[in-house]
Amino acid sequence: MNGPTRRRDAGDRVFVVGVGMTPFAGFRDDATVRDMVVEAARSALIDAGAGAAAVDMGVAAYESDHFNRQMSLGHVLHEAVGLVGKPAVRVEGGGATGALAIRTAVMALGSGAARSVLVFGGEANGRSVDRSTASEILAMSADFEWETPVFGTFAAPYALMITEHMRRYGTTPEQFAAVAVKNRRMALDNPYAHKGMSITVDDVLASRPLSDPYRLLDASLLSDGAAAVLLATGDWAERHASTFGDRPPVAVLGTGSATDHPRLSDRPDDMFPHFAAKRRAAEQAYRSAGLDDPADEIDVAEVYDSFSGAELQAYEDLGLCPVGKGGPAAAEGRFDLGGQTPVNTSGGLLGRGSAVGATGIAQAVEIVAQLRGEAAGPRAVPDARIGITDTHAGVGALSVVNVFGRAA
Amino acid sequence: MRVHGVERGVSRAGRPTSLFHIEMSQRYRHTAGFADPFYRGIDQGVLRATRCDGCGAAWFPPRPFCPVDLAETAWYDLPGTGTVTAATRVHIPPPFGGVEAPYLLASIRLDGVEGGITHRVLGDRIPEKGTVVAVKFMEGVPAHPLLRAAFEIEGRAA
Ligand SMILES: [Zn+2]
């Protein structure tokens, strides 16, 4: 197994000194992607108490020129957020894009290439793109040579995975519908969420079928939105971020990334209903963070719930519950508020929504809010000290897990 | 590209906003590339894969060279049978059309090669894991060349 194996020393810690995001929405009819990213980046800089002039580097996160209507959007955004002249890099990793951008910034800080990095991501996945155009673009996320001609909805490969999970472990549609209910309820308490809903398991089971056993309410939302975080070394933060001492500092404790065969049918039989890349990414992230018992040590998690069942598969592959037990654990409320590890207090992709380039960054925004004790209302997780974010591309082709911790 | 019209109004957030209705279209001459013998094969009624004559490893989807000994691979014919790993009924038609929804889709492990294919299965009952299927080549002009092939249910594995 590759990857870092030591716990970070305090001296080379990476801190999250500022966070910001726009609300996620079905259609931001008053803001371009550029406008949304500027809005999120400004919020992150204000939160940090640092101007863009002091920042060393920018990392732009977005997935699709087709959705955003701009080639080379990275350096357009870089200029718009006030970083012209500074080094820039654009990161793309499908659904993991935002988290991969944070990981890239951590690597830049670890190498000494920068002492502060502004990470900003956004996407116009909402209804500015008409339905048939959006369907065509999304169909290209599958393998255009071998998959796109036979299925155009990602509900299909996710359905194949969960079908085998159901056969092998007895997982039921009621169990994954419970995830759809939980996350939409969480979103009701998040003012930045695309669409909170008060629904029941029966509502999910009665919604329109997409690809058996998945139905419309098992599927996540496509949103317009942006998010940003400012990462920095402790030395930089003390000199340039005026709010750094005002609240509990949050550090990036670890990061992990791994890959799997992008085409589901290429994967070995024993791992067919599992996210192998997620397991490897999590192991790597936990090792670099010095976590030995993730189910016990992680207080709050943002998990990639592109489909409701993918969340309960993720509980297992992230080591939050034993393999095959994700279904009963979801139904028992083990990952709800007050349970072992509250998951997707933001509402997740099912409730907060997904603007692809922003998604992994928005997850970090939620985790930082929880660790600082700033998450308001019923979704607050009391005294949370360690939180993780989990995202993947495709049906788990590329996974990124980032670990955050309250440093004081 | 074309602007069809400009809509002026008030945004959901209460701000004055202008919406430009834009149309763009893309057309491509998309090559089958290295997989050309595969597509010629399905027009002739055979599924083809590649193998390395050096170490014997074989791949579907086909690969141009063996990553182990870097030798070029050779094309060969598959028996066209396989076993279902998992299947679903899809309620949204595939992007190029040519198949009416709902339709059946399965992950199929192909005989004669390390590898599999996610493809259409004919019929209306979702096949279980272990169901044996065989390729069937469709008549007429398919909506996409890959849809020339589909799989028929043969029965349960022994
Ligand atoms: Zn070989």
The per-residue pLDDT for range A108-147, each reduced to its tens digit, is 999 999 999 999 999 999 999 999 999 999 999 999 999 9
Cα–Cα distance, A307 to A159 (Å, whole number) = 9
Same-domain status, A304 and A328: yes
Angstrom distances, CA of residue A339 to CA of A162, A295, A304, A336, B91: 24, 11, 19, 5, 36
Closest CA to A16 of A48, A62, A39: A48
Residues A152, B93: C-beta atoms closer than 8 Å: yes
Average pLDDT value for residue range A351-370: 98
Using an 8 Å Cβ cutoff, are A171 and A312 in contact?
yes
Domain match, A33 and A92 both: yes
Burial string for A69-99 (b: 16+ CB within 10 Å, else e) reads: beeebbeebbebbbbeebebbbbbbbbbbbb
Look at B15 and A25 and tell me if their CB atoms are within 8 Å.
no
Question: Does residue A195 form part of some domain?
Answer: yes
Structure tokens of A367? 């985790």
Residue A301 sits in a domain whose CATH number is: 3.40.47.10
Q: Are strands A300-302 and A386-393 parallel, antiparallel or unpaired?
A: parallel
pLDDT at A6 over 70: no
- Convert the pLDDT of each residue in B10-36 to its tens digit: 998 899 999 999 999 999 999 999 999
- Assigned domain for A2 exists: no
C-alpha torsion sign, points A6, A11, A14, A20: positive
Long-range contacts of A181-185 (CB under 8 A, 24+ apart): A182/A330, A182/A333, A182/A335, A182/A336, A182/A344, A183/A305, A183/A308, A183/A311, A183/A344, A183/A347, A183/A348, A183/A349, A183/A350, A183/A351, A184/A217, A184/A347, A184/A350, A184/A351, A185/A351
Inter-chain CB proximity B61 and A263 less than 8 Å:
yes
- Chain B residue with Cα closest to A32: B19
In whole angstroms, what is the distance from residue B142 CA to residue B77 CA? 22
Share of chain A above pLDDT 70, in %: 97
Closest CA to A400 of A392, B17, A408: A392
User: Total domain count for chain A?
Assistant: 2
pLDDT tens for each residue of A92-117: 999 999 999 999 999 999 999 999 99
**One domain for residues A61 and A186:** no
Q: Is 50 exceeded by the pLDDT of residue A5?
A: no
Phi first, then psi, for residue B44 (nearest 5°) are -95, 0
**φ, ψ at A93 (rounded to 5°):** -155, 50
What is the C-alpha end-to-end distance of chain A, expressed in Å? 31
Contact residues, chain B, for A135 at CB < 8 Å = 95
Residue A49 shares a structural domain with residue A106: yes
Q: Taking the mean position of all CA atoms in its chain, how far away is CA A23?
A: 15
For B80: left if phi > 0, alpha if psi spans -120 to 50, otherwise beta; the answer is: left
CB count, 10 Å around CB of A130? 10
User: How many whole angstroms separate alpha carbon A83 and alpha carbon A135?
Assistant: 35
pTM: 0.96
- Inter-chain residue contact A272 with B13, CB threshold 8 Å: no
Chain-chain contact of A30 with B15 (C-beta, under 8 angstroms): yes
Alpha-carbon separation of residue A388 from A300, A301, A367, A401, B136 (angstroms) = 7, 5, 7, 7, 47
Q: Is A102 in the same domain as A164?
A: no
| B49 shares contact with chain A (CB less than 8 Å) | no
Mean pLDDT value of segment A57-77: 97
Whether B93 contacts B101, CB under 8 Å:
yes
- Cβ-in-10-Å burial (0-12, 13-18, 19+) of B30 comes to exposed
- Report the greatest alpha carbon distance in chain A: 57
Backbone torsions φ then ψ of A338, nearest 5 degrees? 85, -10
* Structure confidence at residue A1 (pLDDT): 37
CA–CA separation, A21 and A40 (whole Å): 4
The closest of A225, A244, A249 to A54, measured between CA atoms, is A244
How many Å is the Cα radius of gyration of chain B? 22
Residue A274 has a CB neighbour count (10 Å cut-off) of: 22
Mutate which of B91, B121, B124, B135 to disrupt the A interface (most A C-beta within 10 Å)?
Answer: B91
Query: Could you tell me which of A102, A43, A56 has the C-alpha nearest to residue A83?
Result: A56
Q: Does residue A163 fall inside a structural domain? A: yes
B119 close to B131: Cβ distance less than 8 angstroms: no
Query: How many contacts, defined by CB atoms under 8 Å, are there between A and B?
Result: 115
B122 contacts B87 by C-beta, under 8 angstroms: no
Tell me the ipTM for this assembly. 0.96
Inter-chain touch A155–B90, beta carbons under 8 Å: yes
The answer to whether A33 touches A60, Cβ cutoff 8 Å, is: no
In a domain, A399, yes or no: yes
Residue type, A339: G
Q: Residue A167 pLDDT > 80, yes or no?
A: yes
Residue A137 lies in a domain: no
Element (H, E) at B16: strand B16-23
Same domain? For A32 and A105 the reply is: yes
The pLDDT of residue B158: 54
Identify from A64, A71, A151, A261 which residue to disrupt to test chain B contact, counting B C-beta atoms within 10 A and taking the largest count: A151
B57 touches chain A (CB under 8 A): no
**CA of B153 relative to ligand 1 center, distance in Å:** 33
Nearest CB neighbour to A153, from listed B35, B89, B90: B90
Cβ contact, residue pair B118, A30, below 8 Å? no
Beta carbons within 8 Å of A385's beta carbon, 6+ residues apart: A299, A371, A405, A406
Domain assignment present for A134: no
Across residues A199-216, what is the average pLDDT? 98
Residue A192 sits in the same domain as residue A267? yes
Q: Which of A212, A246, A280 is the last residue in one of the domains? A: A246
Determine whether the interchain pair B146/A149 forms a contact, defined as Cβ–Cβ distance below 8 Å.
yes
Examine residue A4 and say whether the peptide bond preceding it is cis (omega within 30 degrees of 0): no
A160 shares a domain with A104: no
How far, in Å, is the centroid of ligand 1 from the Cα of B66? 5
Q: What share of chain B in percent tops pLDDT 90?
A: 94
**Residue A165 and residue A89 share a domain:** no
Residue ranges covered by each domain of chain B = 33-156
A288 within a domain of the structure (yes/no): yes
Residues A202 and A319 in one domain: yes
Interface membership of B91 toward A (CB under 8 Å): yes
**pLDDT band at residue B157 under the 50/70/90 scheme:** low
> Which of A185, A214, A246 lies at the terminal end of a domain, its last residue?
A246
Place of tokens 């038609």: B93
Q: Tell me the residue ranges of DSSP E strands in A234-342.
A: 250-259, 300-302
pLDDT band at A4 (very low <50, low <70, confident <90, very high): very low
Which residues of chain A are within 8 Å of residue B92 when distances are taken between CB atoms?
A: 152-153, 155, 210-211
Cβ-nearest to B90 among A136, A211, A265: A211
Torsion angles phi and psi, residue A262, rounded to 5:
-65, -35
The residue in chain A having the minimum alpha-carbon distance to the alpha carbon of residue B14 is A30
Same structural domain, A213 and A229: no
Angle (nearest 5°) at CA A137 between A136 and A140: 95
Strand partners, B75: B50
Of A146, A151, A155, the CB nearest to B94: A151
Q: Does residue A147 sit within a domain?
A: no
pLDDT tens-digit series, residues B113-137 = 988 999 999 999 999 999 999 999 9
Contact A370, A19 (CB under 8 A): no
Structural Rg of chain A based on CA atoms:
19
Domain with A298, as residue range(s), is 152-222+255-406
Nearest-Cα distance to chain A for B54, in Å, is 22
Which of A128, A108, A3, A130 lies closest to A59, judged by CA? A108
